[in-house]
Structure 1
Amino acid sequence: MQTTSRIKRFNELFSGLEDCNEDEQRKKIGKMNEIVDGMNKKEFESVFKTELYDKMYEMIEERKLSMESSLVLLKSVGCYKALKGILIFDFERSSLYIVLEKMIVEEDLKKKEEKNEKLLADLCECHLLLSGWFSSKFLSICVPCLLKVALNKDESKEAQKDVEMSLLALSNVEHYELGKELYLNEIKEIIKYHQEHRNLMRLAYQSAWEFLICRLYFDKSLEKVISNELHFAREATRELEEQTRNMDWKKKEEEMDKEEANEVLIIRRWIKTLEIYFSCCQLWNEEYVGLFNSIVQIYRAAKDNCRGISYQFICLLRSFATNRALKIDDLLESEAVGSVLEEVTQLHVIDEQTSNYLDFFKRLCERLNSESKMESDTAKRKELKRKVLEKMEEGGYEDFIIGFSCCKIIRQHFFYYLVPFIDDYFVY
């Protein structure tokens, strides 16, 4: 379906909701959700304006659209927005946003026997998926409510879809501080149960980790739980490997079918989670080496056709080189250095990716220089240097020299300059 016809069809279905009974509305909304799922970002942003949400509010107020039916559509819209990382704030400027918040508070204040738990969960999911900011008041209601949904161990497809949606909504709560009493025991139980029973869908499991790891921004003590108790690096390694095992990396991203595109989307989310973790982590874990190698294998497989993913991976490797919780020996013994070196030796185009490759080595050299200065033993300093040089020799000095022949040109085009002491490690 082409862009104009897709938008036109959605608007026609939306306009027709006023003249339908509830059953017909549900059918139309089902078709609308399918259209939303096939939209690109530009189409999505052109359709879901404040005016559309205000119109939904009017229809609800005039009893031309039930709240239950509208929540089905809103959850689909919020899911798309969260998965695609769309940062638009039209919903927050609408009348529907205010009504949604009011309903959450009112439902939460009801006595237990009067409370509609399903309605409250739906309202909370829409709030967290569609909104760009949250107050502590609403987080204190929504987080426990959705964790309760996510704790459901029923393995039916419908129940697990509810679990997935609740965890995806929670993963949207990024830069907000939460008291441990609101979430820690519950999210640990969800992750541990999955590790034993493998009950969660892939997106749900990744979302559970993302929600927990975002809490590291405010509470570094969680790292022991995440790294040593829940074994994040081991789990991320396994998930990435399973996620990519059946991927056809010979296809370009635009040629992939819907299922393959969804797999790529989840890989991208794992990369984001890893970036958050390694920007905060301070503890070394022996499971990191396996994770490095897994990342490198996916990077190598995807680099020719999926440039978006390969770009994300090289940025991730750059952050590894800077993080002092990661041992230099682990980086050198992993395949990360050799993989980036392979690319450097074949550089022909000066672009942002070229800059990222060189910046990886720049950061690595800064680490090596810093650690060698701290090392008083001359023999150990020489050994450190020898390890790097051996890595360079594996690729061949001649190719390596050719690859770095562009360095003087790079200096003129990018902010990332090579460090003065790079001669200690690179020959050019």
Structure 2
Amino acid sequence: MIIEEEKKTEEKNEKLLVDLCECYLLLKEYPSLKYISICLPFLLKVASEKEENEETQKEVEMALFALSSIEGYCEVKRELYLNEIKEIIQYHQEQRNLTQLAYQSAWMFLIHRLCRDEHFERVFVNELHFSREARRELEELAKCADWKRGKGNEGEKEAKEELILIGWLRILGLCLVLFQSTSEKHILIGGIVHVFRAAKDNYGDIYENCFNLLGETTYQGAMKVDYLLKGGAINAVLEEMKRPTLNNI
């Protein structure tokens, strides 16, 4: 259906094409590079819309969410996406026009590209200021999350903010492994520590997620102990160890 609609020279139904492309990318475990090359221009066109009404925001969010599902094993040529996705991110940094999920999805799409090309890091650091933005997002989400709701309510469905926060932690975990810059890693660790402290009394899942994330990346050799020290992670863990336990009461 994608091929048939894309081949039309007249009366091409772009709305249908976008819907088909979103479904294909979200449902196909191993998407074909041929179809990715067809889907990218249509989804990036939708994602580049700058109107801030609710309907447009939802369409942009869905397009970017579908793009974020293109995993790192897919080698996508830069000329198919780089200028457009950079413009989307930079415009949001100026105007704050995207939803939280849309912004996170734009970054996830780029993180997957970084998995194949380590030299891509300069785009993250020098042009898009990823670490600064990611830390700001984590701190904003930490303010919005209903931490008290998470205490003792394991069966309760996670709120949207909490799911997005977990998504950012996943992205940061990848960056801590992939980034070469120690200064960027310090900023990311500081963001994780901020969430760690916010969640420790009330939200065990996110608290453990932060703790495990720092431990796993260190174990893999992606981080040295001095990164944790400068990022404040070791102090946060030591503070936690000094807190009274049930055995001390």
The two structures have a TM-score, normalised by structure 1, of: 0.53
Task: Give the percent of matched residue pairs that are identical in Structure 1 and Structure 2.
Answer: 52
Is 1:221 the counterpart of 2:146? The answer is no
Distance in 2 (CA, whole Å) between partners of 1:138 and 1:230 is 28
Pairing of 1:242-253 with structure 2 (within 5 A) = 242-252=140-150
Aligned to 1:79: none
CA gap 1:241/1:314 in 2 versus in 1, 3 angstroms: same
Pairing of 1:273-288 with structure 2 (within 5 A) = 273-285=171-183, 287-288=184-185
CA apart distance, 1:293: 2.3
Runs in 1 of length 4+ with deviation above 4 angstroms?
255-258, 322-330, 344-349
Residue-pair matches, total = 245
Q: Highest relative contact order (Cα 8 Å, sep 6+), 1 or 2?
A: 2
Distance in 2 (CA, whole Å) between partners of 1:346 and 1:136 is 52
The two structures have a TM-score, normalised by structure 2, of: 0.88
CA apart distance, 1:323: 7.3
Pairing of 1:55-204 with structure 2 (within 5 A) = 103-111=1-9, 113-175=10-72, 176-204=74-102
Query: What residue ranges of structure 2 are gaps of 5+ in the alignment?
Result: none
CA apart distance, 1:119: 0.5
Query: What residue ranges of structure 1 are gaps of 5+ in the alignment?
Result: 1-102, 350-401, 403-428
Aligned to 2:238: 341
Residues 164-205 of structure 1: CA distance to partner in whole angstroms, max 9, x if unpaired? 000011111113221111111111111011011111000000
CA apart distance, 1:347: 9.6
Distance in 1 (CA, whole Å) between partners of 2:32 and 2:175 is 24
- What residue identity is the alignment partner of 2:30? W
CA apart distance, 1:333: 2.7
Is 1:241 the counterpart of 2:139? The answer is yes
- What residue identity is the alignment partner of 1:116? N
Pairing of 1:230-379 with structure 2 (within 5 A) = 230-252=128-150, 254=153, 261-285=159-183, 287-321=184-218, 329-344=226-241
Distance in 2 (CA, whole Å) between partners of 1:284 and 1:323 is 16
C-alpha RMSD of the superposition: 2.6
CA apart distance, 1:320: 4.7
CA apart distance, 1:311: 2.1
Please give the secondary structure, in 1, of the residue aligned with 2:182: coil
Of structures 1 and 2, the larger Rg is shown by 1
Distance in 2 (CA, whole Å) between partners of 1:270 and 1:193 is 20
CA gap 1:155/1:243 in 2 versus in 1, 3 angstroms: same
Distance in 2 (CA, whole Å) between partners of 1:233 and 1:143 is 26
Please say if residues 284 and 325 of structure 1, whose CA atoms lie closer than 8 Å, have aligned partners that are also in contact. no
